[in-house]
Every structure is written in C-alpha cells, then in structure tokens.
Amino acid sequence: MYQHIIVAVDGSRTAAKALHEAIRIAKSLQARLTLVNVVSLRDLAIEGVGSLDTHQLHEQAFRQARELLEAAEKTALNEGLTKVNFHIAESWEGGKDLAEVLIRFVENEAADLLVLGTHGRSGIAHLLLGSFAELVMRRTPCPLMVVRGDGDDDIKVD
C-alpha cells in the first residue's frame, strides 16, 4: 500500500486536519511521512514592502516555515511515528506556481500519497481565489487525499 506519504502543512486549520489524517494513515501502514511547506516569497515581499530587504524576507519566511514544520513533526512523533522528515520549498510566483512546486517535490520524492487540506470554497470565492487543491489534483502523479475543513478554516493555528 502506501510507503511514503507527503502532507502539505501551512499553519491553517485545514492543513492541521490533513496532518492528523496523514499521521493516522502513516501510523496504520508504518509508512514514512514527509511534511512539506511551500513558502510564497512573492506574498511575503508584497506584505513586507519597505520593511525588510529581500534577504531578510527570505530568512524570515524560512524561519517561520521551519517553526511550523518542527511543530508538525513533533505532533507526528508524539503520535508514535518514527519515520518523519520535512522539507521547505519556495515559490517566487505564488498562486499556480505554489501548486507546481509541490507537484515537482512529490514527483522527485516518488510519494505514494499526497494529503492536503482544502477550504472547500464555492461560488464567487472559488472564482476569485481559485482552488489550490484543484490545481494539484489535475497534475499530481500520485493519489491525492483532500481533507475538507470547516467554514472558518482561513484562520492560522498558533
């Protein structure tokens, strides 16, 4: 069955739900779990205009990603997994490129399953914001499990 599971972690409640599902599956199958965060350097550059230089933004983004992934790794280890690692990827383009970066990582790692959370937006919100999960679904080389969140899932978890 699945020997290598990758889960996308971004600090949102939907990603936390996806993480717990990936942990449950990995634990039952004694599979390796890889946690991945794709840093959107474009979004950080826009948010931090004038406050930090590019190098500082890059360092801040990777520090935040590492803290997020280390917390997720701790959760997985506390649940009894022993084969856990993490990876930080980066995108300067944002949007569609974030999905492409994740897909390339999944391909390079030869994962058996990709797990990610989705906000489950519909209607005008879906048209305006797009669907990261949909972009990934159309291109991923392996089975994809999408874990749907609740209505307030845009809130980041501390």
In which region does residue 8 sit, left (phi positive, over 0), alpha (psi from -120 to 50) or beta (all else)? beta
Q: Using alpha carbons, select from 135, 105, 129, 120 the residue that is nearest to residue 17.
A: 120
How confident is the model over 111-157, as pLDDT tens digits? Answer: 999 999 886 544 443 333 347 777 888 888 899 999 987 755 454 55
How confident is the model over 36-54, as pLDDT tens digits? Answer: 999 987 666 555 555 556 6
Segment 1-20 mean pLDDT: 94
Q: Write down the domain spans for the chain.
A: 4-148
Q: Which CATH number fits domain 4-148: 3.40.50.620, 3.30.390.30, 3.40.30.10, 3.40.50.720?
A: 3.40.50.620
For residues 22 and 48, the answer to whether their CB atoms sit within 8 Å is no
